[in-house]
Structure 1
Amino acid sequence: MNRKAAAKVAPTLIGTASAPIAVGLPVYNGEPYLTRALTSLREQRDVDFELWIGDNCSTDGTEEICRDAAREDERIRYRRRERNLGSTGNHNRLVHEANARFFTWAASDDAYEPDRLRKMFDALSDRPDAVLAFTSARQIDADERTIGHWNNPCRTDHADPVVRIRDLIGLPHENYHCYGLYLRDVLARTHLLPPVKNNDRILIAELALYGRFVEIREELLLHRLHERRLTQSVSSRDWYRTQRTDSKRLVMPNVEEAGWYLKAIAGAPLGRQQRALALLALRPWIRENAGPMALNVARAAVDGARIAASASGRLLRK
């Protein structure tokens, strides 16, 4: 979507401007930590960027905070969505709204060290074979006390894409790669975030098939862990019910995740042998999820029978 077309859908508070980096910040009722997140982004040093905020129809003070920030800072474009797109839809819309060469998602409850954007930009600019740059992270609590640390355990800079996806799928790790800086045109060639709960893991595994990742081993991301986080506060099935915007009535979370992994590998720029090896790299995930997938199918059969019975009852009453 070009800037003029986007502006017709949801006008921004300021005019357009070009910058090499677009930061996409999706938010819904982010008032508790949003001011801190915006401040840390606005204080990024020695880097040219614009900040695109997608407000998913918040009902708290989010809109006022964002509009105030946009009035104060010409780099900020604020859009209040015409309807709640769900978390996935809001994230993906931001990728298409921005025109910059580089793109990153920022969370409304996280914060950045002042040099994070610049260091990711420099690292990715210097590596023509790379599609993503990311940093280590310091985990913080609601009061910004340090409660943990994250470093990448995966061989995401390996020359072989099969090694990269094998590690990302097979090794236990927190997926903080997704907060890195992407080449936007490569990101746009993926399926983006699919409509399943663990969609960030699927996206990063898919992206690893397109190119190598550049790692900056400095704790420049402050990732906040708190009880209000969406991924922590709802189950997989409840996530589907609250975040999905399609009309599917039968929920099979693990089965759908498997399908998206298969789509990711099928659409990646791989030769026949690499594609076969990438499919084999799914074995640890399949072993771990075989039981849940069987339960998904069994529960969907029960739910399907219940839906059919309800429909039959309505027809009989007519």
Structure 2
Amino acid sequence: MSDNHPSVSIGLPVFNGEGYVAEAIESLLAQTYRHFELIISDNASTDNTEAICRSFAEQDSRVRYCRQDRNGGGMWNFNHVVGLARGKYFKWAAHDDTCAPTFLERCVEVLDQNSEIVWCYTQSAKIDPLGRRMTEDPEEGTGTRGVVHTSEAGFPRRHHDSSYPHGRFLGVLLGPSWAADFFGVIRTNLLRQTRLIPHCYGGEKVLTAELALRGPSYEIPETLFFTRVHAAASGNDNSASAQRSFNASRSSRRSEFTRLALLLGYVKAVRNTKLGLIESVKCWFVILRYLFQVNKWKKVFLNLLNGAGVGNRKLRPASIKGTT
């Protein structure tokens, strides 16, 4: 494939990512699969991110650097890079995560050989700020230790390869909250048929659910993706206000109540997918099961009272040592 017709488009949205963005870009440019473009959308960074990214773009023609005139919000930027993609397949990349050299090669191979698979991803492990594999991910306030590998978190999701849309949908809604599969390689044409990511914190899981309605996913049983745990990561925005700020839209419209927005996102995902009557009804029942997880009501209520956000977590000092 030529540079004008890459097989894979990688979208890397970033805002003030000078601490890790170079490492993320280097891991992508080191891929054994070479037929890709890397689209970097800079959300008006105020640190050294622009200089770092422009340097890579000058050295490698596969890198396209786009700078926004103002910060459009985190999810807006994630959706924006999809519109710039030219490849048959698409992958999101976070500015602080890394991939092993064979990540693209292995995922593209699966998609090329299996037309029914919507997206492919690999097992994932957590790394610390210095890029070292973590043996534990301390989480205060829960009395438990956080998992550090997707095999410990319930991946692959239940029914991920089911022939029934409602089964795959259930696997996302009632499955692990860690959206590691979101960073897999997706068929671009099917991705563009979705509503993309809603502008709410945790919206990537809504998109994952909508993709699951369209077909099965596949997990490669190799650890080729690494998600970084550090204090400045968007996943550590604990308060509801911080999560709303991360997802503020370009129109400065106030973000919806996050949990309601997620619920509405799942409803719209079902409505936006062509399903038979029976499958549609079964998907509505899946949403009801999601809504009536009584064992989670107490935590949700307490978080509302305390102003905590969705999926809030507290990192112990040892896990954030060395951050910039």
1:31 corresponds to 2:23: no
The equivalent of 1:226 in structure 2 is 230
2:12–2:40 contact (8 Å) kept in structure 1:
yes
Q: 1:120 aligns with which of 101, 104, 107?
A: 107
Displacement after TM superposition at 1:222 (Å): 1.2
CA 1:228/1:127 → structure 2, altered by over 3 Å: closer, same or farther?
A: same
Q: Which amino acid aligns with 1:174?
A: W
Deviations 1:147-190 (A, max 9, x none): 12113241211211111111111123421110000101100110
Query: Which residue of 274, 284, 290 corresponds with 2:279?
Result: 274
Deviation string 1:123-142 (CA, Å, 9 cap, x unpaired) is 11111111101100121110
CA–CA distance in 2 between the matches of 1:37 and 1:175?
A: 18
Secondary structure of residue in 2 paired with 1:216? strand
Please state how far the C-alpha of 1:293 moved relative to its aligned partner: 8.2
State the partner residue of 2:319. none
**Partners of 2:211 and 2:41 in 1: how far apart?**
23
Match of 1:167 in 2: 171
Q: Identity across aligned pairs (percent)?
A: 31
1:303 matched residue in structure 2: none
The number of equivalent residue pairs is 285
* Stretch deviating more after TM superposition (271-280 or 226-235): 226-235
2: CA distance, partners of 1:136 / 1:31: 26
1:176 to 163, 171, 180: 180
What's 1:208 paired with?
212
- Structure of greater relative contact order (alpha carbons < 8 Å, 6+ residues apart): 2
How far is the alpha carbon of 1:114 from its aligned partner?
0.5
2:28 aligns to what? 41
Aligned residues of 1:254 and 1:292 also touching (Cα < 8 A): no
Cα distance in 2 for residues equivalent to 1:297 and 1:219: 36
User: Secondary structure at 1:282's aligned position in 2?
Assistant: helix
> How big is the shift at 1:218?
0.4
Q: Secondary structure at the residue paired with 2:149?
A: strand
Greater percentage in helix: 1
- Call closer, same or farther: CA 1:296–1:142 in 2, change over 3 Å: closer
- Counterpart contact for 1:101–1:185, Cα < 8 Å: yes
Structure 1 stretches of 5 or more lacking a match? 1-14, 300-318
Which residue matches 2:203? 199
Does the 8 Å CA contact 1:130/1:211 hold for their aligned counterparts?
yes
Q: CA offsets, 1:245-280, max 9 Å, x none?
A: 245447422112111110001111211110110111
Q: Compute the displacement of 1:283 (Å).
A: 2.8
SS of residue matched to 2:197: coil
The one-letter code sitting in structure 1 at the alignment partner of 2:273 is A
Pair 266,290 (structure 1): closer, same or farther in 2 beyond 3 Å: farther
What residue is the counterpart of 2:150 in the other structure? 150
In structure 2, relative to structure 1, the CA distance for the partners of 1:250 and 1:297 (3 Å cut) is: farther
Alignment of 1:257-268 (within 5 A): 257-268=262-273
Is residue 2:63 matched to residue 1:58? no
Greater shift, 214-223 or 239-248, is seen at 239-248
Q: Which residue in 2 is equivalent to 1:316? A: none
8 Å Cα contact 2:8/2:89 also seen in 1: yes
Residue 126 to residue 77, structure 1, CA distance change in 2 (3 Å): same
1:175 aligned partner, one-letter code: A
Q: Give the counterpart letter for 1:224 in structure 2.
A: R
Q: CA deviation at 1:298?
A: 11
Gaps of 5+ in 2: 135-147, 307-324
5 Å-filtered alignment, 1:85-104, equals 85-104=72-91
> In the aligned structure 1, how far is the partner of 2:10 from the partner of 2:107?
12
What is the TM-score normalised by the length of structure 1?
Answer: 0.84
Q: 1:83 aligns with which of 70, 78, 81?
A: 70
